[in-house]
């Protein structure tokens, strides 16, 4: 994901100097290695994956509750951004609240306050559509009228935003500063951030045009970004230049996790595109399952054992595998791979008095090569990392057989400040 701030620019001005692309291509290694580029858009302490977690004995409910308690205690709803990163945190929290309605009151209030504060915020680029996912996931808590109100500007944006020559939306928008600094392009993040919201909103609001638009996007992206040899996705396609970023066969984990998670959620609801989307999904998941590390994680550059294990992408892939197996889209070993991912994540959680802390989440990431991905700093408790793990925990805990991990959450919370 790119930086969050956007401003209108004059689209009549020629875009001669793509400064952002030059910076990324020419000096990303230095910037990322020093933590400078990520430092522009994410903050927080790092987390070593060499540290021991709370042990292999915690129920999925306790894991989810511990993560949610720490996240909601350490931030206020109005501080959670109205864009992709905050939206995925809210999506995980909404699914957790829906899983256990008896314990959902504080989380329901947190979610409602988030939408009351933010829902009139401007929607200027596709990344700003992701909050619709959380609103729909929380509709039993918010009520149908509130969901319609909170997603109105997002639906309007999805209807009105110009389609590019591919029939997709440019990742950085059209009338934004970032669109003037980087070539017109689609990024795989967008399948989660605008394609899935379009499909979901179209179904909930009874707007078939939105539904059809959302479900059509995976084939568009796969045609130019899914590698024919591996089934994995490159990060971005510069459609006016006809080239990918990266150009070499380098595959970013979290981006492929976004694709897998978006696809499995779309495939839950039959559509005329389902047959084609199933093929894309199964090819991707087969490639991911064959590249899982022995510790349950995936490396931030898939298949590159020199790169670090990354938490958010591991959780997203695990979620897609678990749900895909439950829906009969994937064979039963996919569920085992998802449980192995959950085990690996639990082993690295850090207990604190306010809840469980998640280390090892890579910061916001732009399309670069292997060295750039490998040098993105890891942070602790980033919104989208917590949200992704909540999604996985709920999927395994609410829909798959319960596997107890052991330790008691109340005991964990007392161990570390």
Q: What is the mean pLDDT of residues 40-54?
A: 33
CA distances from 392 to 109, 172, 193 (A): 22, 28, 18
- The string of pLDDT tens digits covering residues 340-373 is 999 999 999 999 999 999 999 999 999 999 999 9
Q: What is the pLDDT of residue 206?
A: 96
- The string of pLDDT tens digits covering residues 127-148 is 999 999 999 999 999 999 999 9
With CA atoms as reference, report the closest residue to 366 among 41, 77, 73.
41
Q: What is the pLDDT of residue 3?
A: 36
Q: What is the mean pLDDT of residues 6-14?
A: 31
pLDDT, averaged across the chain: 85
Residue 275 confidence class, pLDDT cut points 50, 70, 90? very high
330-336 long-range Cβ contacts below 8 angstroms, 24+ apart: 330/282, 330/285, 333/289, 334/285, 334/289, 335/400
Is the pLDDT reported for residue 25 higher than 80? no
Is the pLDDT reported for residue 7 higher than 90? no
Is the pLDDT reported for residue 43 higher than 90? no
Do residues 383 and 91 touch, judged by C-beta distance below 8 A? no
Is the pLDDT reported for residue 1 higher than 70? no
CA distances from 334 to 276, 323, 328, 375 (A): 20, 9, 10, 30
Is the pLDDT reported for residue 414 higher than 90? no
Phi, psi of 134 (to 5 degrees): -70, -40
Is the pLDDT reported for residue 227 higher than 50? yes
From 16-25, 60-69, 141-150, the region with the lowest mean pLDDT:
16-25
Q: What is the pLDDT of residue 162?
A: 97
Q: What is the pLDDT of residue 407?
A: 29
Q: Which two tokens stand for residue 164?
A: 């590019």
CA distance 199 to 211: 4
Q: What is the pLDDT of residue 175?
A: 84
Report, at the CATH architecture level, how domain 44-413 is classified: Alpha/alpha barrel (1.50)
CA distance 145 to 133: 16
- The string of pLDDT tens digits covering residues 215-224 is 999 999 999 9
Q: What is the pLDDT of residue 100?
A: 80
Is the pLDDT reported for residue 321 higher than 80? yes
End-to-end, the C-alpha distance of the chain in Å comes to 32
What residues does each domain of the chain span?
A: 44-413
- The string of pLDDT tens digits covering residues 165-199 is 999 999 999 988 998 899 999 999 999 999 999 99
Higher pLDDT among residues 62 and 55, named by residue:
62
Residue 350, SS3 per DSSP:
strand
CA distance 198 to 12: 29
Q: What is the mean pLDDT of residues 392-400?
A: 88
Q: Which two tokens stand for residue 46?
A: 């790092």
CA distance 367 to 68: 30
Q: What is the pLDDT of residue 400?
A: 65
Residue 24 confidence class, pLDDT cut points 50, 70, 90? very low
Q: What is the mean pLDDT of residues 79-98?
A: 96
Q: What is the pLDDT of residue 80?
A: 97
What is the percentage of the chain residues whose pLDDT exceeds 70?
Answer: 82
Where do we find the tokens 């539904």?
211
Is the pLDDT reported for residue 35 higher than 80? no
Q: What is the pLDDT of residue 399?
A: 75
Could you write out the three-class secondary structure of 236-268? EEECCCCEEECCCCCCEHHHHHHHHHHHHHHHC
Residue 94 confidence class, pLDDT cut points 50, 70, 90? very high
**Nearby residues of 294 by Cβ (< 8 Å), 6 or more positions away:** none
């Amino acid at each position: 994901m790119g930086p969050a701030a956007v401003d209108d620019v004059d689209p009549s001005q020629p875009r001669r100097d793509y400064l952002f692309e030059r910076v990324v291509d020419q000096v990303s290694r230095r910037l990322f290695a020093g933590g400078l580029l990520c430092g522009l858009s994410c903050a927080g302490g790092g987390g070593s994956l060499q540290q021991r977690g709370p042990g292999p004995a915690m129920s999925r409910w306790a894991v989810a509750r511990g993560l949610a308690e720490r996240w909601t205690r350490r931030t206020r709803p109005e501080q959670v951004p109205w864009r992709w990163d905050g939206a995925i945190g809210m999506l995980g929290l909404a699914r957790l609240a829906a899983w256990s309605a008896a314990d959902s009151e504080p989380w329901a209030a947190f979610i409602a306050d988030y939408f009351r504060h933010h829902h009139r915020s401007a929607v200027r680029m596709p990344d700003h559509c992701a909050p619709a996912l959380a609103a729909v996931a929380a509709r039993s808590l918010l009520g149908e009228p509130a969901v319609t109100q909170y997603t109105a500007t997002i639906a309007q944006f999805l209807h009105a935003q110009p389609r590019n020559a591919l029939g997709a939306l440019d990742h950085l928008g059209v009338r934004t500063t970032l669109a003037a600094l980087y070539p017109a392009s689609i990024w795989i993040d967008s399948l989660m951030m605008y394609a899935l919201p379009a499909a979901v909103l179209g179904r909930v609001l009874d707007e078939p045009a939105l539904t059809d638009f959302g479900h059509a996007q995976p084939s568009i992206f796969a045609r130019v970004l899914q590698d024919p040899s591996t089934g994995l996705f490159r990060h971005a396609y510069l459609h006016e230049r006809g080239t990918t970023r990266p150009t070499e066969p380098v595959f970013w984990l979290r981006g492929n996790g976004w694709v897998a998670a978006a696809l499995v959620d779309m495939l839950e609801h039959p559509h005329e595109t389902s047959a084609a989307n199933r093929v894309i999904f199964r090819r991707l998941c087969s490639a991911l399952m064959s590249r899982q590390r022995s510790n349950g994680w995936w490396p931030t550059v898939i298949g590159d054992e020199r790169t670090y294990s990354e938490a958010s992408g591991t959780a997203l892939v695990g979620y897609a595998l678990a749900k895909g197996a439950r829906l009969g889209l994937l064979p039963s070993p996919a569920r085992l791979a998802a449980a192995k991912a959950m085990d690996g994540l639990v082993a690295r959680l850090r207990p604190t008095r306010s809840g469980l802390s998640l280390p090892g989440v890579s910061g916001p990431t732009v399309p670069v090569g292997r060295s750039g991905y490998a040098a993105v700093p890891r942070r602790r408790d980033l919104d989208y990392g917590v949200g992704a793990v909540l999604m996985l925990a709920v999927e395994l805990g609410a829909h798959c057989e319960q596997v107890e991990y052991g330790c008691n959450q109340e005991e964990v919370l007392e161990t570390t400040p």
